[in-house]
Amino acid sequence: MILEVENIVSGYGDIEILHGVSLSVSEGEIVGIIGPNGAGKSTIFRTIFGLLNLNEGDVRFLGESIVGLRPRDILNQGLAYVPQGRFTFPEMTVQENLEMSLFIKKIDTTQEISRIYSLFPVLYEKRKAKANELSGGMQQLMEMAGALLLMPRLLMLDEPSLGLAPKINTEIFNRVKKLNKEGITFLIIEQNIHALLKVAQRIYVLELGQNRFEGAAQELMTDKRLSTLYLGGE
């Protein structure tokens, strides 16, 4: 088991958002988290990554508790996080943004960026363009690439298809499938449920800060009751 989240209680100040949520991810999996707005999905990622205090429960990565660690320390252990939205340096080029991703690690920048360009050839073509000149989809690819530069064992993606055109949305998830085959484990929050179900092996459903469903993606698609609740009966 690469990640174990056990009965976590967390929130913002005095406002409790998560009320004992649990989940797990095995190495090599793609696991999805879905649920309505306000369910606490992003709060889970922020808590796992040390951006929010954990009031109760435990988070273990590679068998060791990471509760209380700084995000930088968690990242150095092999757990990376791409938040919802865009967090690029808009006036810097693609190349410069990728170099900034490596700032916290003392590794060969040239070699690692060459590796990433081989995974994302379209970024190599745009390497001299400023981030603010890129489409939302290209910026999302750049942020994924920046996280992958740090060679994570597990990559958490929060709404990777948010605001993207269908073609780019497909490219994002095709990239996830390819990277998964190359050894990257994924935990993904996504509102585009059908796109997520095409790549994820297992799904967690959250409602009001609590677990409502856990099981195989195929079960969510084929169970009539679950399909009606979460997929609109499609």
Q: Are strands 185-189 and 202-207 parallel, antiparallel or unpaired?
A: unpaired
State the pLDDT at residue 232: 61
pLDDT at 45 over 60: yes
Give the Cα separation of 67 and 47 in Å (integer). 9
Q: Residue 203: helix, strand or coil by DSSP? A: strand
- Exposure string over 111-142, b if 16+ CB within 10 A, otherwise e: ebbeebbebbeebbebeeebbeebeebbbbbb
Enumerate residues 6+ apart whose C-beta is below 8 A from 217. Answer: 32, 196, 197, 200, 201, 202, 203
First-last CA distance in the chain? 33
Q: Where are the alpha helices (DSSP H) in 40-108?
A: 41-48, 71-77, 94-101
Q: What is the mean pLDDT of the chain?
A: 88
State the pLDDT at residue 168: 78
Nearest 10 degrees: Cα torsion 54, 58, 59, 64: 130
Higher-confidence residue: 64 or 38? 64
Q: What is the pLDDT of residues 132-146, one digit of tens each?
A: 888 888 888 888 888
Q: What is the mean predicted confidence (pLDDT) over 70-84?
A: 92
Q: Which domains does the chain have, with CATH numbers?
A: 3-78+152-231 (3.40.50.300), 88-151 (no CATH)
The Cα-based distances of 67 to 23, 76, 104, 179 in angstroms read 15, 14, 21, 28
Residue 178 CB neighbours (<10 A): 11
Binning pLDDT at 50, 70 and 90, where does residue 106 land?
low
State the pLDDT at residue 219: 83
Q: What is the pLDDT of residues 164-185, one digit of tens each?
A: 777 778 888 988 999 999 899 9
pLDDT at 44 over 60: yes
State the pLDDT at residue 87: 65
Give the residue carrying structure tokens 């991810």.
25
Q: Residue 177: helix, strand or coil by DSSP? A: helix
pLDDT at 234 over 50: no
The share of the chain scoring above pLDDT 70, in percent, equals 93
State the pLDDT at residue 89: 81
Binning pLDDT at 50, 70 and 90, where does residue 86 land?
low
* Cβ pair 13, 43 in contact under 8 A: no
State the pLDDT at residue 107: 61
**Residue 193 CA neighbour count, 13 Å, CB half:** 20
State the pLDDT at residue 140: 84
